[in-house]
């Protein structure tokens, strides 16, 4: 399977699973499995915020115009997990729709070294490593959110309905 298909699946699964979460009663967003600080609402906001962050890591910010710098400053501010906008699941879905599409575009570029600061240190990561981490991160947290829901009795979302098999059957790729 190529990176493009994996990213398309991630984008589809993000929309499907978080879309289903948005249909649940409001108290479902307060569900957690073990750690009460990691509620479903927090996890969903984290997925959206992180997608923006992975994309940000891939961009050639050295060549940004002044307008692009302003756009990204605002986008990163609005996409912060604590931003009032991120409290709205419809907004999270919009952030994901845009970020996931741009991550897909990034996957079409040649693999290259991407130097960035990470946890206070300079590192060089391959484009493919950052894209792979974006996919695994979203998958991990979708599963975490659904597990938290199940732990609190919200059992209507079955992750098997959103695996790669289901993606191929439903989307035809």
Q: Convert the pLDDT of each residue in 48-71 to its tens digit.
A: 999 999 999 899 888 889 999 899
pLDDT of the residue at 117: 80
Task: Say if residue 84's pLDDT is above 90.
Answer: no
Phi, psi dihedrals of residue 164, rounded to the nearest 5°: -65, -35
pLDDT of the residue at 171: 94
Q: Are strands 113-118 and 121-126 parallel, antiparallel or unpaired?
A: antiparallel
CA-angle at 169, arms to 100 and 40, nearest 5°: 45
Per the structure, the complete domain to which residue 66 belongs is given by 3-171
Task: Say if residue 118's pLDDT is above 80.
Answer: no
The mean per-residue pLDDT over the stretch 10-34 comes to 97
CA-atom Rg of the chain in angstroms? 16
Handedness of CA 43, 95, 110, 62 (dihedral sign): negative
Q: How far is CA 90 from the centre of its chain?
A: 14
Structural domains in the chain (count) = 1
Strand-pairing partners, residue 122, are 117
Residue 23's CATH number: 1.20.120.450
pTM of the model: 0.92
Tokens of 36: 């009460």
Round to whole Å and give the CA distance between 94 and 97.
Answer: 5
Among 57-61, 126-130, 168-172, the range scoring the smallest mean pLDDT is 57-61
The mean per-residue pLDDT over the stretch 133-160 comes to 98
């Amino acid at each position: 399977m190529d990176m493009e298909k994996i990213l398309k699946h991630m984008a589809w699964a993000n929309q499907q699973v978080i879309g289903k979460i948005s249909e649940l009663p409001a108290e479902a967003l307060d569900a957690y499995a073990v750690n009460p600080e990691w509620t479903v609402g927090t996890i969903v906001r984290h997925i959206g915020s992180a997608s923006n962050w992975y994309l940000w890591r891939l961009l050639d910010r050295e060549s940004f115009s002044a307008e692009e710098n302003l756009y990204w400053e605002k986008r990163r501010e609005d996409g912060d997990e604590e931003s009032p906008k991120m409290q709205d699941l419809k907004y999270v879905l919009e952030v994901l729709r845009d970020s996931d599409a741009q991550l897909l575009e990034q996957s079409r570029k040649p693999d290259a070294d991407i130097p960035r600061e990470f946890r206070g240190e300079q590192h060089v990561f391959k484009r493919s490593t950052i894209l792979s981490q974006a996919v695994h991160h979203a998958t991990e947290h979708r599963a975490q959110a659904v597990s938290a829901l199940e732990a609190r009795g919200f059992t209507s979302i079955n992750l098997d309905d959103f695996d790669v098999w289901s993606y191929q059957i439903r989307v035809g790729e």
